[in-house]
Chains A and B, each alone.
Chain A
């Protein structure tokens, strides 16, 4: 819950105190699936950041200017997911055309992002917390930063895991979850950060 509506607090809160992956359990498919490779992880992190911030901005506008004034809040889920899917599609075309270097950097991750829970969650939470447009933007940024930090950290660990003696049953995904659990434990330490 956000009591402090100061932008800095919003960012830090979304970034580490309530980290979207390690505390809120979102974005796990790509988190676990991609993080064996550092390069892939960085690419995914960048793509997620870009899409989340923009998609949240658009969704906020759609909700506050299109849905709420006409009392169509119940169309929130449908509209958001369609907006996000369309946006990702549109954006992929735009980037491919105008910034091919960026497009190559994002690689295949861009289309994969549509089913990433994080974007939809960030959009929903921005509305639930009744944030202003700017606060929503910062919040989305914080969430993506949290995802990036998480995936890069775990990728750096997993890259070295191959040489570690892991029991056969744990190789691959299970040990990744245990790792995530340990990281989550560490991030829980941030919980009392704003106890004013």
Chain B
């Protein structure tokens, strides 16, 4: 290839690359505020769903466990929202759970999961999640694993359900160790595994 062609080639590519880089940086500048705003709206909406009485929320970064503090209209702290990632059937499940000042569950939302559609995926639906409201301690067991448990698993999705309930209960135990002697219930006797195909 002649030298002239090579230089021309380099010039063209550099020009295109620079132009592209510049344009993309502009796109980024323009969309970034919108993207951040969307994230904030999403986060607020989620927090409100979990904790309807909350008026304002603030992120708190504590050494081993960060959380979102919830305040009412008079700036009194009325609870906390934590995010945990218990291991479910298909991987980690991102769970967001809110507690009131007595460490009773206020609300639960599933953010991300890789569970089986139609089975394990039902853990994100209201019938399963609403069960958690107002409960604490040994109530947070699935019925089949502990006599004091009050939670029904999703039919055919024991593992997913157990992951979520155990995750929430363990978190609650950690935050409020006074409440209960840690009992490990009946596990494994009739472990039904109907998930997957």
Binding site for B on A (CB under 8 A): 1-4, 13, 72, 74-75, 78, 185, 188-189, 191-192, 194-196
Contact = CB atoms under 8 A, between A and B. Distances in A.
B88 interface: yes
Given A74-B28, A78-B20, A3 B196 contact: no
A1 B197 contact: no
B159 A3 contact: no
B114 interface: yes
B69 interface: no
Given A3-B91, A3-B92, A194-B91, A188 B21 contact: no
Given A78-B20, A188-B197, A2 B92 contact: yes
Nearest to B163: A195
Contacts of B24: 74-75, 78
Contact of B195 (A13, A185, A192): A192
A107 B25 CA distance: 40
Interface in B75-93: 85, 87-92
Contacts of B163: 195
A192 B92 contact: no
A195 B87 contact: yes
Contacts of A194: 87, 91
B92 A1 contact: yes
Contact of A3 (B27, B87, B116, B193): B87
A191 B87 contact: no
A192 B159 contact: yes
15 contacts: A3-B87, A74-B24, A74-B28, A75-B21, A75-B24, A78-B20, A78-B24, A185-B197, A188-B196, A191-B116, A192-B89, A192-B90, A192-B159, A195-B87, A195-B159
